[in-house]
Amino acid sequence: MLGRKKVTLPELPQWPGIEEMFTNVKAFVNEPAVATGLVVCFSMLVLAVMMNKTKEAKRKAVSDFLREMLGTIVMIFCCFTPGPVLGHLGGYEEWIAHGVGVIVADYLAGGPHVNPAVSVAMFVWRKLPLDHLVLFVAAQVAGGILAFPALQFLASPYGVTIGGPGITDDTDVVRACWDEGVGTFALLSAVFLFCTTWLGQHYHVKQPMVAIAIRVIIIHFGSTGPAVNPMLATTWAFYQSGSTQWPEQGKHYVIFWGASVAGAAAAALLWSLLWTDGVFAPHKPPPPVGPATTKEAWKRYLKAFNGLGTEESYTAILKLYSAEVQLLLSTARPAALAEAGAPTTEAGKKAAKAAAKVVVSKRGVKSAAKWLTRGAKETVVEGVVDEATRSVFVKWHSAQMDGTETLLFDENYLILRQHTTIYKPH
């Protein structure tokens, strides 16, 4: 009887225990250089939240920061594993895996920049404000600080050692700057071409083309790795030091930050010049702050009276009047008479308040003065706008009284003359 051949199964990766993992994470976070770096990065998020006034803007700042940080982690996980895992095969497998990694990382993370050079290019292209640029770069660096040790931790049980871009003491600075600068220029040119034109509407086309462009850049500009991403080079060097020290060589920052940023800015400027966009976009006059027609001024006037009854509402109303305004209020009630005056004076303010009490809103539900409407549930306002004379003739009717009003606007569409008449008190 023939004996069966013994089959040797591959050993399963040996993962450290939960307690050891927790100890390692705690030691990593407590490392002074790591803690300082993360505090600086997250302080940019805190500053952004404090600078924004609305809840929506605050939420967007947090969302943008998390998207860039998590997107950076996903990108490093997906793009730094093909080389160590498949590079020994010496064939096209690594290329395909790297291209798939670029596409998967972008898709999973929702299309973040994950690259300070890309963020700088968007800033030069005038598509990203300065405060967002700082926020994005801080998030990207935070992601890089966390991603490399986490990826190596996951890869170690499989006997895989990840690598990254870098320079040595013998590195030719001129050649390195050329590779990083021109490589980044080529990368951003590909981004502009494939992501901002009609090709960008077809994800299955644009992202594979960007992945191919990145692979070509890696092949032809390889003296530094290349990084074509300042964050990758710096956080990788930081990780190589045992996460204890940031790069101290001045040429590191000249090559990976100076040259890369210059290449990205040059690509953005060239693209703007070719498409007369961004910096080279035709000058457009700023939109008018106030209304541009009498009809718009009339609508603004009606809107201002929707919340009458508070000092804030009167302040808003006074902004509608010219400094040379003349107000006249005629009514059968002598106590409500208001003489002409400018709202910048005390008499003018009283006159404007008196006028506010007899001019009702378009919908009439929120009438200015309770003594005027006395519980009226319906007010009808009819306005005839004359653009030629910048005037509006108003006729209004409520359950308690009727009235007419004539408004004359100046060239800035502020009220220059206002005559209100209550002609049928009930």
Sequential DSSP letters for 183-248: HHHHHHHHHHHHHSSGGGG-HHHHHHHHHHHHHHHHHHS-TT----SHHHHHHHHHHHTTSS----
- E-state strands within 270-365: 321-330
Say whether pTM exceeds 0.75: no
| Backbone torsions φ then ψ of 386, nearest 5 degrees | -120, 105
Whether residue 128 contacts residue 115, with contact meaning beta carbons closer than 8 Å, is answered with no
pLDDT string in tens for the chain (426-residue length)? 455 555 565 565 677 778 878 888 888 989 999 999 999 999 999 999 999 888 889 999 999 999 999 999 999 998 888 767 666 566 677 778 878 888 888 888 888 899 999 999 999 999 999 999 999 999 999 999 999 999 988 888 777 888 888 888 888 999 999 999 999 999 999 999 999 999 888 988 999 999 999 989 988 888 888 889 999 999 999 999 998 999 999 999 999 999 999 999 999 999 999 998 888 888 777 666 677 788 888 888 877 766 555 556 666 777 788 878 777 766 644 444 334 333 444 544 454 455 544 443 333 323 343 433 343 345 566 778 888 888 888 887 766 667 788 888 988 888 888 887 776 555
Q: What residue ranges define each of the domains in the chain, with the CATH number in brackets?
A: 18-161+173-280 (1.20.1080.10), 294-425 (3.10.450.50)
Kindly give, in sequence order, each residue whose CB lies less than 8 Å from that of residue 255, ignoring residues fewer than 6 positions away. 167, 171, 173, 176, 177, 180, 224, 233
Give the N- to C-terminal CA distance of the chain in Å, as an integer.
120
Residue type, 116: P
Structure tokens at 391: 């005037």
